[in-house]
Amino acid sequence: MGKKTSAADIAQQAQLQEELEVQQAFEAGITTLRDLISPSSIEIKNDYFRLGTKYGRTIYVYAYPRTLYTGWLSSVINIDEVLDISMYIYPTDSSVIMRNLTKKVTQLEASLNINAEHGKIRDPELEAALHDAEELRDDLQLGREKFFRFGLYITVYADSLDELQFVQHKIENIFGQQMVFTKVATSQQEQGMNSTMPQCTDQLLIRRNMNTGAISTSFPFTSADLTQEKGILYGINMHNNGLVIFDRFSLENANMVVFAKSGAGKSFTVKLEALRSMMTGAEIIIIDPENEYQKLCDAVGGAYIRLSLNSDVRINPFDLPKIVDAEDANDSLRTNIATLHGLFRIMLGGTQGLNPVEEADLDQAIIDTYARAGITSDPLTHNAPPPTIMNLFDTLLHMGNTGPSLAQRLRKYTTGTFAGIFSQQSNIDVNNQMVVFNIRDLEEELRPVAMYVVLSHIWNIVRADQRKRLLLVDEAWQLMKYEDSASFLHSLAKRARKYFLGLTTITQDVEDFMSSKMGRAIVANSSMQLLLKQSASAVDVLSDVFKLTDEERKRLSNFPVGQGLFFAGQNHVHIQIVASPREEELITTNPNERNKP
């Protein structure tokens, strides 16, 4: 009986042991955090390693020039490649360094004396070494400098060995131009990989002596950065995955130009900026030639003003701004007359233009038309109801010289095809945080006139009531076709900052815009520029204007949608425009996305 019990116990213990092993095997198979972050495999070779499907190689710096300049490492940090950089800095006892320097100075002086005794020519390299050693010894003695041991390791990654070799050569060339020399950590790739991982273990132990000044030039946080404490989010800095948060009103002017080919994301970008700027209290005014801003305008409760020959919207070009500032008030009539000259040159000139006699008669007719309405250079008369183009037509008709001829050419805007929209008193209300002027339904011939009149009307509002505003002019190339409208847009760009206005000029026709003298002047008066994907012909033009590098030039025609070069003041970065799902729903210009229910 006892033997049977013993056998049963043994069987039970064996079963328990088997269950325990199964449980342990199960627990060992449960995914841990280490399993999640570890690669599927690691393969170490003589001069490279492989993590899963990625290839990597560690190189180290073994020689430096006599002098290092601040920011010498910046070009490598900002390179558009995947890499890890590790720096190891070890403080050294100054007394030990002083003893070694004293010995070194003695050796160098002895070498110079021996050369002199043997009549050899001077050795500049030896003399420079002695001078540097003496200078460093003085600085250490006075406490101006300290001494360190410095190790710099870089691990590059790629999807293939050929690409890995290409990236390595690119980095070596950048360093070589500064007389900084590197080597591959041959037979030490595992130690190199570990040394550049964020675990603070220097397993390569390849170091060079450096003083405080030289170490400071290697300061690592020199990547192109456009992050401020205030402003709006423009996107992701593709150099370092940082946020591009910027306040355009912090620059010398708040103007911006956006260049991109059709479909590259320019309208998406400016709508996103407008939406986010509204959250900071800015008012948004938009000239919309393609009906792209209505959905956004309706979503934020803005005023959508549709200009067409069939609508009841009226804008009177003779409106005067209600200026509070005394200096501006005295010049408001004269300024508006000059603006009207530009408008009527577009309306009446066509391809023929106006000759000097017609210019003089037109000027007198405008002055007389204001005078008949009771408006003179006296600011107290400026609150009277302004005249209209109908009144100007009547004045020209009863003038001598070229007046009747000009009146006949103006007739289509008074009683002809284009009558009504600009020939009656204004009836629009722009008291809203977002105002959109839609000109899509206007005839092609009338579009430049409409954009000019709308810009003039907006400018009067801006001068009369100074608030933080953004003015977005889409398809600005239509204004650049005419000298007067281009000149007026340039004038806005120059004077906008005084009235707390930021002008955003958007165009896809880069060649025509930049071939214009005024177009180039507008770019020069814009502290911010955004270059999205460009056509091959536009890349050459923009490369010369913005002094792009060969790499930037190559990428400019190959950027995916929503990526580009973002310039702000003296800095620029490679940016990815990002929007939340809700923002994207409101601002997308993709027809497939826009038509979703």
How many C-beta atoms surround the C-beta of residue 25 within 10 A?
Answer: 9
Band of the pLDDT at 74, cuts 50, 70, 90? confident
- Answer whether residue 595 shows pLDDT above 50: no
Half-sphere exposure of residue 323: CA atoms within 13 angstroms, side-chain side: 23
* 141 in a structural domain: no
Predicted local confidence at residue 221, as pLDDT:
60
Domain shared by 211 and 263, yes or no = no
Domain shared by 440 and 423, yes or no = no
- Answer whether residue 592 shows pLDDT above 60: no
Greater pLDDT, 379 or 325: 379
Of 191-195, 330-334, 433-437, which range is least confident? Answer: 330-334
Are 86 and 153 spatial neighbours (Cβ–Cβ below 8 Å)?
yes
Domain shared by 456 and 329, yes or no = no
What stretches of 389-535 show up as alpha helix (H) in DSSP? 389-397, 403-410, 447-464, 477-480, 483-495, 510-515, 517-524
Half-sphere exposure of residue 141: CA atoms within 13 angstroms, side-chain side: 10
On whether the pTM is more than 0.85, the answer is: no
Q: What is the CA radius of gyration of the chain?
A: 36
Greater pLDDT, 429 or 142: 429
Query: Token pair 């993709």 is at which residue?
Result: 590
Percent of the chain topping pLDDT 70: 90
How many C-beta atoms surround the C-beta of residue 76 within 10 A?
Answer: 19
- Answer whether residue 108 shows pLDDT above 80: no
How far apart CA 389 and CA 413 sit, in angstroms, is: 8
Last residue in a domain, options 173, 190, 216: 216
Predicted local confidence at residue 32, as pLDDT:
63
Nearest one of 490, 583, 587 to 255, comparing CA atoms: 490
Of 160-164, 181-185, 444-448, which range is least confident? Answer: 444-448
3-state class (DSSP) for residue 338: helix
Max mean pLDDT among 100-104, 106-110, 171-175, 535-539 falls in 171-175
Of 39-43, 45-49, 255-259, which range is least confident? Answer: 39-43
- Answer whether residue 144 shows pLDDT above 80: no
- When pLDDT is averaged across residues 277-293 and rounded to a whole number, the result is 89
Domain shared by 200 and 288, yes or no = no
- Answer whether residue 155 shows pLDDT above 90: yes
CATH number, domain containing residue 208: 3.30.70
Greater pLDDT, 127 or 416: 416
Predicted local confidence at residue 502, as pLDDT:
92
DSSP letter (8 states) at residue 51: E
* 245 in a structural domain: yes
Domain shared by 243 and 372, yes or no = no
Greater pLDDT, 340 or 547: 340
Predicted local confidence at residue 514, as pLDDT:
81
Neighbouring residues of 577: CB distance < 8 A, sequence distance ≥ 6: 234, 235, 265, 268, 269, 272, 562, 563, 564
How far apart CA 373 and CA 365 sit, in angstroms, is: 12
Last residue in a domain, options 198, 216, 234: 216
- Answer whether residue 150 shows pLDDT above 50: yes
* 228 in a structural domain: yes
Tally of residues, the chain = 597
Predicted local confidence at residue 596, as pLDDT:
47
Predicted local confidence at residue 557, as pLDDT:
81
- When pLDDT is averaged across residues 143-154 and rounded to a whole number, the result is 81
* 357 in a structural domain: yes
Are 148 and 210 spatial neighbours (Cβ–Cβ below 8 Å)?
yes
Sign of CA dihedral 160, 161, 165, 171: positive
**What is the tally of structural domains in the chain?**
3
Residue 236, both tokens = 């992701």
Are 373 and 384 spatial neighbours (Cβ–Cβ below 8 Å)?
yes
Predicted local confidence at residue 323, as pLDDT:
65
* 542 in a structural domain: yes
Q: Give the tens place of pLDDT for each residue, 469-528.
A: 999 988 887 777 777 778 888 888 888 888 899 999 988 878 778 877 888 888 888 888
Last residue in a domain, options 427, 447, 466: 427
* 97 in a structural domain: no
* 186 in a structural domain: yes
How far apart CA 346 and CA 348 sit, in angstroms, is: 6
Nearest one of 389, 377, 383 to 333, comparing CA atoms: 377
530 membership: H or E segment, kind and range: strand 528-531
CA angle 434, 436, 442 (to 5 degrees): 175
Distances (CA, A) of 177 to 73, 74, 80, 174: 12, 13, 18, 6
DSSP letter (8 states) at residue 349: I
Are 307 and 439 spatial neighbours (Cβ–Cβ below 8 Å)?
yes
* 100 in a structural domain: no
Query: End-to-end CA distance of the chain, in Å?
Result: 82
Q: Give the tens place of pLDDT for each residue, 156-167.
A: 999 899 999 999
CATH number, domain containing residue 322: 1.10.8
Nearest one of 500, 422, 426, 491 to 462, comparing CA atoms: 500
Domain shared by 228 and 320, yes or no = no
Paired residues of 251 in beta bridges: none
- When pLDDT is averaged across residues 564-589 and rounded to a whole number, the result is 84
Domain shared by 178 and 66, yes or no = yes
What stretches of 411-498 show up as alpha helix (H) in DSSP? 447-464, 477-480, 483-495
Predicted local confidence at residue 288, as pLDDT:
87
CATH number, domain containing residue 582: 3.40.50.300
How far apart CA 13 and CA 5 sit, in angstroms, is: 12
Domain shared by 590 and 462, yes or no = yes
Residue 184, both tokens = 């591959």
Predicted local confidence at residue 327, as pLDDT:
58
Nearest one of 571, 481, 590 to 239, comparing CA atoms: 571
Domain shared by 370 and 479, yes or no = no
Domain shared by 488 and 593, yes or no = yes
Of 66-75, 159-168, 320-329, 561-570, which range is least confident? Answer: 320-329
CA angle 485, 490, 493 (to 5 degrees): 130
Domain shared by 78 and 193, yes or no = yes
- When pLDDT is averaged across residues 169-193 and rounded to a whole number, the result is 89
What stretches of 217-355 show up as alpha helix (H) in DSSP? 266-279, 294-299, 326-344
Domain shared by 65 and 180, yes or no = yes
Of 85-89, 223-227, 249-253, 382-386, which range is least confident? Answer: 223-227
Whole domain around residue 246: which residue ranges? Answer: 224-307+434-597
